[in-house]
Amino acid sequence: MEKIPPPMSPPILEVRGAISRINTQGAAYFDMEMLRALPVARLETATAVTDGVRRFSGFLMRDLLAHIGARGTTVTARALNDYAIDIAIEEFDRFDVLVAYEMDGEPLLPSDKGPLWIIYPRDQHAELQDIRFDYRWVWQLRWLDIQ
Amino acid sequence: MSRQARALLGVALPVSAIVIFVALLAFSLMRLSDLERDMRIEATQNMLWVISRAHISSLQLGEAAAGSVAGEVDHAQLELRYNVFLSRLALLDDGPQRRRMEALGAAAALGTLRGSLPELGSLLMSGRPEVVPRIRALLAPYNAALTQAANKAMVAEWDDLGATLDATRKQLWQIIISMIGISLAGTVLCIHFLLAIRDARQRSRLLNQEKAFSELLIGSSGEGIIAVDMDRRCTVWNEAAKRLFGVNADVATGAMLSDVSGFFEVGRIEQAISDALQGQAVALLDQPFFPSHQCEPLYVDLRCFSLRDGERIIGTILLASDVTQRRAAQREIADHRDHLEKLVQARTQELDAALTRERATADLYRNFGTMISHQFRTPLALVDSALQRLMRRRDRLTPEEILERGEEARSAVARLVRLVESTLDAARLDAGQIEVRSQLCDLGDLVAEICSRSTENTGSGRITVTLPDGASPIAYCDPVHAEHILTNLLSNAVKYSPAKTPISITLTDSGTQIECVVANTGPQERSFEREALFERYYRGSNTEGRPGIGVGLYMARALARLQGGDVQLQNSEPGMVRMAMLLPSSASGSGSVTAMALRKEPA
């Protein structure tokens, strides 16, 4: 098992399961600083639950998975309110799925949809404008479990 | 139904069916498109779930507040619950969810709650037990409103779903009816097309029958029928063409015409085909064609016509007929005609000759009759008168007188005898009974002898003889006949010239011929025809009252010609007559002077 540096501040994302790089007790913990160190990705799209087009900043899910050496086929994303959704891992290769920490230049807050929100490029791919993709937009993302 | 209406129906029915078909299809597609669009479900339609999650987060927040007071829940968990609660509230208060909540009549409760959020936050952070009822009191109307909103959302969603299903059902029915219409229109079109196909088949069957009949006509034609396209490739080659050129149709069809038979490579034929390909009609008659298996040529009449498709020329048609037999028959007829013409011509010539002979014979007899009547009557009259005088004066006559009368009568009889002998000579000549014994003969001696004999009758001094200088003229002739001729010419000269006028005889030797010209004074005007002089029994107008039977010159010429010579009347000055006897000279004869003795005629 390779090690990655531990977070310096309270973690906001916890990844476990079939991964090769960890930092704490069989899991990889990330604070905001570590996440911001990942390659920054930007995306402009409308969402199903807000009005108008929004500008999102964050990192690509596949960059994160590569960073921690994920090997599985399914990612289970779980939110603060225990909302859990299974996503096929190859979906992150087909689409530039973003994990956003900023919307319209403002950090996402835990009291709204932050600190992390899974954003699909909805406007860029018509097939994503579907209720079966809408439920994968997990906000208040806290845990990822790779299987 | 009239023809026009039928035709109109034939067009209008399928066109309207197609229009209906297309219109219904477009309508159905539009409806299906609507359906497809309506089938999308927006996240906002999932309001029941959103409301329930908000309700749960509110209830969980209330419990967490109670647990916090009891020390069962730590601060971090309380904050997590509060954040989740705020998050749900924010979601309800945002964009589409907000509008939906307003429609459900829960917006007022949301507004109230948002107004009391600062108080709720501070109450939760205080951690004191007495605030729990207040927190519950703040959340209670929110929870009640969410319950009510959930209720309404459920009803609204089901109503929406029902309405959507109704609309969908209606649209489906429209589509089904459209489909029935489409099927009907399609059926009409199918029936129409089936009928059209049946008609087309029937027409093509009729066309095939006509084509077969045309092929039968072409095949049965006794005339060779050949069609070629613009590249001179053969497209039609019938049975008669096969028989004529000895090439099968399957070989000829598709091949270049010049490859099929050398006949079409001949310049004239090629030119005719070129002309026909440029739109002219050409006919070539009696063209020879040499088939490969025989050396006798066939003769072919060839006619070329352009094949036209409207204005465009697409090829040419050649009609070839074998005219060998006709030509042979024509030639036979022509040969026969030529033969007949020759026969007629020959026969005409024969008849002309016979006519001429008959005329000559008639003339001969007429002249003979005339001569007899004139020449025989005179001596007979003399004999008669002498005898009459003797009889009348029988008592008084002296023997001298009787002798004189007797002499007169005998002289007349002698004349008659001479006439008869002359006539017999002519007859002998005609019968070819005159013999010619040619030999070398000195004409100078002959002339001198005849002159001396003639002088006894005419008196001396009238006749002069001129001989060529030097040698005596030797002719190759029969001396008897030569003497006969010269005697005749000289007696004529004496007889037909005035008394006492000179008569000249001139002998010349040209090397090949001896010419003996007897010249005497004659009439000023020529009263006889040159050639008629030499005809038998012809007597000129100046012979009236003079004895003669008109055979002298005829005999003279005939005898001269028998010896290879001639007797001619020569041109002379007016008032003179020049008769010439021509005989071959000794040089041209077969004998030689030295070898043969000159025969001297006794005086």
* CATH at B311: 3.30.450.20
Average confidence (pLDDT) over B350-371: 85
Q: Which residue of A lies nearest to B92 if distances are taken between CA atoms?
A: A49
Q: Encoding tokens for residue B136?
A: 């519950």
Average confidence (pLDDT) over B254-279: 87
Is B418 domain-assigned? no
Is residue B541 over pLDDT 70? no
The rounded distance, in Å, linking the Cα atoms of A58 and A27 is 21
Do both B179 and B264 map to the same domain?
A: no
The rounded distance, in Å, linking the Cα atoms of B495 and B9 is 131
A50 CB within 8 Å of a chain B CB: yes
Q: Which residue of B lies nearest to A79 if distances are taken between CA atoms?
A: B84
Confidence of residue B471 (pLDDT cuts 50, 70, 90): confident
Please answer whether residues A53 and A44 qualify as being in contact, where contact means their C-beta atoms are separated by less than 8 angstroms. Answer: yes
Please answer whether residues B522 and B495 qualify as being in contact, where contact means their C-beta atoms are separated by less than 8 angstroms. Answer: no
The pLDDT score that the predictor gives to residue B481 is: 85
The pLDDT score that the predictor gives to residue B26 is: 93
Neighbours of B404 (CB within 10 A): 14
Helix axes B479-496, B443-458, angle to 10 degrees: 40
Do both B480 and B535 map to the same domain?
A: yes
Range B147-167 burial, b when 16+ CB lie within 10 A, else e: eebbebbeebeeeeeeeeeee
Last residue of some domain: B189, B220, B251? B220
Going from the N-terminus, what domains does chain A have, and what CATH number goes with each?
Answer: 2-146 (3.90.420.10)
Do both B4 and B126 map to the same domain?
A: yes
Q: Cα–Cα–Cα angle for B234, B239, B245, nearest 5°?
A: 65
- Partners of residue B520 on adjacent β-strands: B503, B577
**Interval B382-391: pLDDT, tens:** 888 888 888 8
Compare CB distances from A81 to B41, B46, B84 and report the shortest one's residue. Answer: B84
The rounded distance, in Å, linking the Cα atoms of B154 and B162 is 12
* Domains contained in chain B, number: 3
What are the residue ranges of helices labelled H in B228-323?
A: 239-245, 249-252, 257-260, 267-277
The pLDDT score that the predictor gives to residue B544 is: 63
Please answer whether residues A75 and A64 qualify as being in contact, where contact means their C-beta atoms are separated by less than 8 angstroms. Answer: no
Do both B174 and B248 map to the same domain?
A: no
Average confidence (pLDDT) over B271-291: 87
Give me chain A's average pLDDT, please: 89
B57–A81 C-beta distance less than 8 A: yes
Average confidence (pLDDT) over A15-31: 87
Q: Which helix (H) or strand (E) segment is B515 a member of?
A: strand B513-521
Q: Chains A, B: CB contacts under 8 A, how many?
A: 53
Do both B212 and B289 map to the same domain?
A: no
A134–B43 C-beta distance less than 8 A: yes
The pLDDT score that the predictor gives to residue B457 is: 67
HEC string of B441-464? EEHHHHHHHHHHHHHHHHCCCCEE
Q: Encoding tokens for residue B221?
A: 């034609």
Last residue of some domain: B263, B291, B322? B322
Is residue B133 over pLDDT 90? no
Q: Encoding tokens for residue B335?
A: 């040969």
Do both B255 and B267 map to the same domain?
A: yes
- Tell me which residues of chain B have a C-beta less than 8 Å from any C-beta of chain A: 40-44, 46, 53, 57, 80, 82-84, 86-88, 90-91, 94-97
B87–A113 C-beta distance less than 8 A: yes
Do both B161 and B27 map to the same domain?
A: yes
**Interval A56-101: pLDDT, tens:** 999 999 999 998 888 889 999 999 888 899 999 999 999 999 999 9
Q: In sequence order, what are the residues at sequence separation of 6 or more whose Cβ sits closer than 8 angstroms to the Cβ of residue B308?
A: B314
Is B422 domain-assigned? no
Is B58 domain-assigned? yes
- Find chain A residues with C-beta within 8 A of B91's C-beta: 49, 113
Do both B108 and B173 map to the same domain?
A: yes
Q: Encoding tokens for residue B43?
A: 């996240």
Is B257 domain-assigned? yes
**DSSP letter string over A101-142?**
EEETTEEPPTTTT-S-EEE--TTT-GGGSSHHHHTT--BSEE
Mutate which: B60, B83, B92, vs A, most A CBs within 10 A = B83
Is B133 domain-assigned? yes
Is residue B543 over pLDDT 70? no
The pLDDT score that the predictor gives to residue A59 is: 93
Q: Is the bond into A39 cis (omega within 30 degrees of 0)?
A: no
Please answer whether residues A99 and A75 qualify as being in contact, where contact means their C-beta atoms are separated by less than 8 angstroms. Answer: no
Q: Encoding tokens for residue A130?
A: 């579907």
Please answer whether residues B21 and B186 qualify as being in contact, where contact means their C-beta atoms are separated by less than 8 angstroms. Answer: yes
B86–A131 C-beta distance less than 8 A: no
Confidence of residue B203 (pLDDT cuts 50, 70, 90): very high
The rounded distance, in Å, linking the Cα atoms of B78 and B87 is 14
Do both B78 and B65 map to the same domain?
A: yes
Please answer whether residues A68 and A22 qualify as being in contact, where contact means their C-beta atoms are separated by less than 8 angstroms. Answer: yes
B83–A49 C-beta distance less than 8 A: no
Last residue of some domain: B322, B354, B379? B322
Is B544 domain-assigned? yes
Tell me the percentage of chain A whose pLDDT exceeds 90. Answer: 35
Please answer whether residues B301 and B320 qualify as being in contact, where contact means their C-beta atoms are separated by less than 8 angstroms. Answer: yes
ipTM of this predicted complex? 0.83
Do both B13 and B93 map to the same domain?
A: yes
What are the residue ranges of helices labelled H in B372-510?
A: 377-392, 399-430, 443-458, 479-496
Average confidence (pLDDT) over B497-525: 83
- Find chain B residues with C-beta within 8 A of A80's C-beta: 80, 83-84, 87
Do both B548 and B440 map to the same domain?
A: yes
For residue B263, the 8-state DSSP code is G
Is B336 domain-assigned? no
Please answer whether residues B226 and B237 qualify as being in contact, where contact means their C-beta atoms are separated by less than 8 angstroms. Answer: yes
Domain span holding position B569: 434-588
Please answer whether residues A108 and B83 qualify as being in contact, where contact means their C-beta atoms are separated by less than 8 angstroms. Answer: no
Burial class for B97, CB neighbours closer than 10 Å (0-12, 13-18, 19+): buried
- The maximal CA–CA distance of chain B, rounded, in angstroms, is 246
For residue B21, the 8-state DSSP code is H
Do both B180 and B228 map to the same domain?
A: no
Is B370 domain-assigned? no
User: CA neighbours within 13 Å on the CB side: how many for A6?
Assistant: 6
* CATH at B480: 3.30.565.10
